[in-house]
């Protein structure tokens, strides 16, 4: 029979439709966007993008070739840095000015290589760029939350084939993050333990949904996976803030990421996916709530969420808030574990 499973972190129900039993081959699809004749993210086209904010390059001046990873402002940002945060009422509604930041992390100068194709050393450089931009943006007290994400493939929202991720900083805590942060805080208040640490210990003890375990990191399929082959990557030792990692620790994350991305590419033939890095928000004090983030370092646990875009949200999902997953996380973990990478 199908099962309804509750996700205690996201506070939603998932239907694991086991009788449908969809296997990896059922999800294979054409994923690549149309190739561009001239890509603005490639070597030699630096003048076609806004001035870079950060880059990793062996030598040479800013905005020149010879870079490994390059960060630029989005040419068409959804939010802009200039201005003050102003909130106002509009009848029953609330309105805020569109203040924030929107950046592009160009992960490689090679147009035809995806994130899964990069070496561990190259992935480490990408993670260093993530860390550098987090540390810089969180100095702006207007910005309350940063979400770093990657859309891979047209069905996941990618409009350019050249491998890149995005970082958007917003002047408030988004609802999804608020739910997760409140769950973590309440769990710690009741038990003086991190809910993620408890979850990781339980998953290691059962082993059913573990895809790969490294000395310091683990990848697994969540018990209440909303999407087929959904994956999460966790540090095994408690850490709330990705930006606190040193270069050696970033190398460990890169190794686990490389394994996770490679398995997904082998099993599902390079599927479209969304990749989200969840980390603690800046510990800026909130007006009237001086102790609001008092337990953040103990109750939160940074992690990476990877969601293949293999099914569509339709009427039932919109009408109920439930998700239907036709492949159990236990089966998905087994397929991924057995992949030869």
The single-letter DSSP state of residue 46 is: G
| pLDDT reading at 195 higher than 80 | yes
pLDDT tens-place string over residues 35-88: 666 899 998 899 999 999 999 999 889 999 889 999 999 998 888 888 888 888
What is the residue-averaged pLDDT of the chain?
90
The single-letter DSSP state of residue 292 is: T
Structure tokens at 333: 């973990």
pLDDT of residue 213: 97
Chain position carrying tokens 């996976």: 225
pLDDT band with cut points at 50, 70 and 90 for residue 33: low
pLDDT of residue 301: 97
Alpha-carbon distance of 256 to 317, in angstroms, equals: 32
pLDDT of residue 251: 98
Catalytic residues, by residue number, are 164
Widest distance between CA atoms in the chain: 62
pLDDT tens-place string over residues 127-165: 999 999 999 999 998 899 999 999 998 888 888 889 999
For residues 4-26, average pLDDT: 76
Alpha-carbon distance of 191 to 298, in angstroms, equals: 12
Lowest mean pLDDT, pick from 25-34, 62-71, 130-139, 218-227? 25-34
CA angle 279, 267, 334 (to 5 degrees): 80
Query: Would you tell me the crossing angle of helices 247-268 and 329-337 to the nearest 10 degrees?
Result: 100
């Amino acid at each position: 029979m199908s099962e309804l499973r509750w996700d205690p972190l996201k506070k939603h129900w998932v239907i694991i439709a086991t009788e449908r039993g969809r296997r990896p081959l059922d999800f294979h699809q054409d994923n690549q966007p149309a190739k561009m004749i001239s890509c603005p993210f490639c070597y030699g086209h630096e003048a076609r993008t806004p001035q870079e904010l950060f880059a990793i390059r062996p030598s040479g001046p800013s905005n020149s070739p010879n870079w490994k990873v390059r960060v630029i402002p989005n040419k068409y940002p959804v939010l802009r840095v200039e201005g003050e945060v102003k909130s106002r009422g509009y009848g029953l509604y609330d309105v805020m000015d569109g203040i924030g930041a929107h950046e592009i992390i160009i992960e490689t100068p090679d147009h035809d290589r995806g994130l899964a194709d990069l070496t561990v050393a190259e992935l480490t450089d990408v993670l260093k760029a993530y860390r550098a931009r987090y540390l810089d943006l969180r100095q702006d007290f207007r910005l309350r939350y940063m979400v770093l994400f990657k859309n891979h493939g047209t069905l996941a929202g990618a409009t350019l084939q050249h491998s890149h991720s995005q970082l958007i900083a917003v002047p408030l805590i988004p609802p999804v993050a608020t739910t997760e942060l409140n769950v973590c805080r309440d769990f710690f208040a009741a038990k003086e333990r991190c809910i993620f640490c408890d979850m990781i210990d339980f998953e290691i003890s059962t082993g059913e949904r573990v895809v790969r375990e490294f000395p310091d990191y683990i990848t697994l399929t969540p018990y209440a996976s909303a999407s087929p082959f959904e994956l999460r990557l966790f540090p095994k030792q408690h850490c709330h803030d990705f930006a606190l990692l040193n270069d050696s620790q970033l190398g460990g994350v890169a190794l686990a990421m490389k394994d996770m991305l490679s398995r997904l590419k082998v099993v599902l033939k390079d599927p479209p996916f969304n990749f989200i890095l969840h980390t603690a928000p800046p510990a800026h004090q909130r007006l009237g709530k001086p102790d609001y983030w008092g337990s953040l370092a103990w109750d939160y646990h940074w992690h990476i969420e990877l969601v293949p875009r293999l099914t569509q949200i339709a009427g039932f999902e919109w009408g109920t808030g439930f998700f239907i997953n036709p492949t159990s996380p236990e089966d998905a973990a087994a397929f991924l574990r057995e992949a030869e990478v």
